[in-house]
Structure 1
Amino acid sequence: MILQKKNVFILTLLLLLAFLSACQKTVDLEPSSYQDSDLNQLDGVTMVVTPTEHPVTTESIALTIKNESDEEHSYGVEFKLEKEIDGEWYEVPFEGEVSWIMIAYILEANSENNETISFDLLDKNTLTEGNYRLIKQISGQAVSATLTLTE
Structure 2
Amino acid sequence: MKKRWMVMVLLGLIIASACQSNSLSTLDEPVPDQKQPSSADGLSIVLEQTEYPEAPDTMQVTLKNVSEDTYEYGEFFQLEQNLDGKWYIVQYSDAVFYQNPRFTNMGVHLQPGDTVTQIYSPETLDLQLPEGTYRLVKTFTHSDPTYTVSIAAPFRVH
What TM-score results when the alignment is normalised by the length of structure 2? 0.68
Q: In the alignment, what sits opposite 2:130?
A: 128
Counterpart of 1:68 (choices 61, 66, 69) is: 66
State the partner residue of 1:143. 151
CA contact (8 A) 1:45 1:65 kept: yes
* Residue in structure 2 matching 1:29, options 26, 30, 43: 26
Q: Percent sequence identity over matched residues?
A: 25
Distance 1:40 1:52 in 2: 13
Report the count of equivalent residues: 130
Which structure has the bigger radius of gyration? 1
Q: Which secondary structure state, in structure 2, belongs to the residue aligned with residue 98 of structure 1?
A: helix
Q: Which runs of 5+ in 1 are unaligned?
A: 1-13
Alignment pair present for 1:112 and 2:110: no
- Larger relative strand fraction: 1
In structure 2, the partner of 1:10 is none
Q: What is the alpha-carbon distance in structure 2 between the residues aligned to residue 29 and residue 113 of structure 1? A: 29
Q: Deviations over 1:54-87 (max 9, x none)?
A: 2433111000001111212110111111111111
Summarize the Cα distance change of 1:40–1:52 in structure 2 as closer, same or farther, 3 Å threshold.
closer
What is the alpha-carbon distance in structure 2 between the residues aligned to residue 68 and residue 116 of structure 1? 21
Alignment correspondent of 2:3: none
- Distance in 1 (CA, whole Å) between partners of 2:24 and 2:75 is 26
Name the structure 1 match of 2:76: 78
CA-atom RMSD in angstroms: 2.9
Q: Decide whether the 8 Å contact of 2:36 with 2:150 is kept in 1.
A: yes
Q: Is the 8 A contact 2:55 2:131 kept in 1?
A: no
Question: What is the CA–CA distance in structure 2 between the aligned matches of 1:27 and 1:69, rounded to whole Å?
Answer: 36
CA contact (8 A) 1:73 1:107 kept: yes
